[in-house]
Amino acid sequence: MNKINTDNFLILIVDDVSHNLQFIGDIVETAGYETTFATNGQQAIERVKQARPNLILLDLMMPDMDGIEVCSILKADPDYCDVPIIFLTASQETNSVVRAFQEGAVDYITKPFKNEEVIVRIENHLRLYIQEKQLESQNLRLQAEIQERIKAEAELKQKTTQLEQTLNELKSTQVELIQSQKMSALGQIVAGVAHEINNSSNFIMGNINHAIYYFQVFDELIKLYQQLHPEPNSKINNFIEENELNFLLDDCPKMMNSIKIGAERLDQIVCSLRNFSRLDEAQIKTVDIHSGIDNTLLILQHRLQSVGARREIQVVKEYAQLPQVTCYVSQLNQVFLLFLTNAIESLENVSGVIPTITIRTEAVQTPSLQPTNDSSQTIDFINIYISDNGCGIDPDIVPKIFDPFFTTKSVGNGTGLGLSISHQIIVQKHKGKIRCHSTPGQGTTFIITIPLTLPAQ
């Protein structure tokens, strides 16, 4: 075992018999310890408070205040309770030793004292005392480290949450950016395509009515010939039979009609494409949004009424008190038309519920995102909720519904441009937002958010 360094260790020796003090003092000082002395209990307590010894050798039997009393006073004092106390006892006093231990003594030495025993016991207890102090300070350090770690972990958690939030915001900004870039690039292409389709369809639209008229003339002419010359010569008869003239005469008007329907459909598509690409031509006006919605509903009246097997669609209006809105008014009406048309179409094959479209509006005040000292400054928005209890949208296709030309409708029933046009108008032109909540089989709500006034473009 390592010898401990005795320098700077102060030992208090307490005994009412002065030659005992002298004797133990010599042993302890010879071993290199510093010493201080007391000859009674009261003095011992004072010395402890003055000099704060590292260890006390305390006589058990003393007049007035005995060693056990001194021990119990010191052990009750939080400032000195940790100073190790070794009792000095006569061999016949061993019964009191039990009480001494109960009061907190660490050891005892019986008289007559043997030099080595005294030193070994002192050393042992000082070593224990040092180790205990080291453990205590290590423990304190560990506790401080644990506290720091808990703090660091909490900070890390907070930072992670912040990062996750930022990442999510970034992701959604990125999606919006991609979407708007797609839109603006597409707008140019679409304008070109619309122009080309329009030129070509003009050939058809411009000529189809003439063609129908010319055919009617030929048809009448042939019938006139057949009336006036019921017995043509065999060459003409063979030609008529070979070419199935009667079938041709019957089929031709139907064919012309198909061409006309196709051309009209082309015209409609061109019109949509033009709306899509020429969005900046519309006028800015300050208007009542509700009257725009009501007008749109009027235009769609024929699709809301019951016809044949088709059931009537209920329209529920939950309009709030709204201020007027400055917007591209005809474009906004177009958006209402496109959303309401989608809602109507979602109700087409729905059974078990009363087909219903609900239109709800509300005004919202949001604190400005710009850093400003004026806390009262707000940006005002309007929310328009268009809900249906129709077929709903499969979660898998929700991310695609705003893509141009994405449609789940059969050929001829949808171009897939409605929502992308709406997105262009609301998000790009009005700096607003469109959100979609849908449950397949239960219905869909689109929330259109637009600012009260148009932000500078």
CA distances from residue 17 to 22, 60, 377 in whole angstroms, order as listed: 9, 12, 90
**Is residue 416 near ligand ATP by the rule CB under 6 A?**
yes
Task: Tell the smallest beta-carbon distance from residue 163 to ligand ATP (Å).
Answer: 34
Question: Is 277 a residue that touches ligand ATP (CB under 6 A)?
Answer: no
Residues 114 and 88 sit within 8 Å (Cβ to Cβ)? no
DSSP state of 229: -
Q: Which two tokens stand for residue 291?
A: 């009257």
Instruction: Pick between residue 100 and residue 273 the one whose CB is nearest to ligand ATP.
Output: 273
Task: Output 56 or 419, the one with its CB closest to ligand ATP.
Answer: 419
**3-state DSSP of 359-407:** EEEEEEEEECCCCCCCCCCEEEEEEEEEEECCCCCCCCCHHHCCCCCCC
User: In sequence order, what E strands does 83-221 have?
Assistant: 85-89, 107-110
Q: Dihedral of CA 425/426/431/433: which sign? A: negative
Q: What is the 3-state secondary structure (H, E, C) of 154-170?
A: HHHHHHHHHHHHHHHHH
Partner whose footprint covers residue 32, from Mg ion, ligand ATP, none (CB < 5 to 8 Å by kind) = none
Give the residue with the Cβ less far from ligand ATP, 355 or 432.
355
304 binds ligand ATP (CB under 6 A): no
Work out what residue 101 binds among Mg ion, ligand ATP, none; the CB cut-off runs from 5 to 8 Å by kind: none
* Smaller CB separation from ligand ATP, 54 or 415: 415
| 418 lies in the binding site for ligand ATP (CB under 6 A) | yes
Smaller CB distance to ligand ATP: residue 58 or 419?
Answer: 419
Q: How far is CA 333 from CA 179, 282, 330, 336, 337, in A?
A: 22, 11, 5, 5, 6
For residues 426 to 445, the per-residue mask of contacts with ligand ATP, x marking binding by CB under 6 A and - elsewhere, is ------------------x-
User: Minimal CB distance to ligand ATP: which residue?
Assistant: 418
* 389 binds ligand ATP per the rule CB under 6 A: no
Report which residue type is found at 355: P
- Interface residues toward Mg ion, by CB under 5 A: 342, 418
Yes or no: say if 40 and 13 are a contact pair by the CB < 8 Å rule.
Answer: no
* Locus of tokens 């930072």: 159
Given Mg ion, ligand ATP, none, residue 262, with its beta carbon under 5 to 8 Å by kind, binds none
If one asks whether residue 417 binds ligand ATP (CB under 6 A), the answer comes out as yes
Among 390, 424, 426, 434, interactor with ligand ATP by CB under 6 A: 390
Q: Please report the sign of the dihedral spanned by the C-alpha atoms of residue 423, residue 424, residue 426, residue 432.
A: positive
* C-alpha to C-alpha distance for 441 and 418, rounded to whole angstroms: 22
Strands 85-89 and 284-287: unpaired
| Interface pick for ligand ATP out of 186, 273, 343, 425 (rule CB under 6 A) | 343
Residue from 110, 124, 407, 428 touching ligand ATP (CB under 6 A): that is: 407
Q: Closest approach of Cβ 449 to ligand ATP, in Å?
A: 17
Q: Considering only 61-69, 138-146, 219-227, 407-415, which stretch makes contact with ligand ATP by CB under 6 A?
A: 407-415
Distance in Å, CB of 409 to Mg ion, minimum: 8
Residue with tokens 């304008």: 191
Contact between 393 and ligand ATP by CB under 6 A: the answer reads: yes
Q: Is 35 in the site for ligand ATP (CB under 6 A)?
A: no
User: Dihedral of CA 66/70/72/73: which sign?
Assistant: positive
Instruction: Out of 346, 389, 424, 449, name the contact with ligand ATP by CB under 6 A.
Output: 346
Beta bridge partners of 277: none
Q: Measured from the CB atom, is 38 or 393 closer to ligand ATP?
A: 393
CA distance 72 to 108: 16
Q: Which residues bind ligand ATP (CB under 6 A)?
A: 338, 342-343, 346, 388, 390-393, 401, 406-409, 414-420, 444
